[in-house]
Amino acid sequence: MNADRNAGHNGKLDWRKSSYSGSGGGDCVEIAVSLTAVYVRDSKDAARAPFTVEVGSWSRFVGFVAQG
């Protein structure tokens, strides 16, 4: 996890909700991608600072999850 939550973006992030999130407002995770990091937040608590993951680490995580 990267301690610098603002590195690599200009303050405007394009947040995307998980495709597994329903319209019922349940537990949802949103991500935003910059050149240097992936930002992850709880969609129900968008005011809280997101945590960041380096792009390479995120890619490995997604690859692992996709394997089942």
Quick one: pLDDT band at residue 7, thresholds 50, 70, 90? very low
Q: pLDDT class for 54, splitting at 50, 70, 90? A: very high
The mean per-residue pLDDT over the stretch 1-14 comes to: 56
- 16-50 pLDDT per residue, tens: 887 766 666 666 889 999 999 999 998 888 888 99
Return the higher-pLDDT residue of 43 and 2.
Answer: 43
**Cβ neighbours of residue 29 under 8 Å, at least 6 residues apart?**
17, 18, 21, 40, 41, 42, 43
Q: Where are the domains of the chain?
A: 16-66
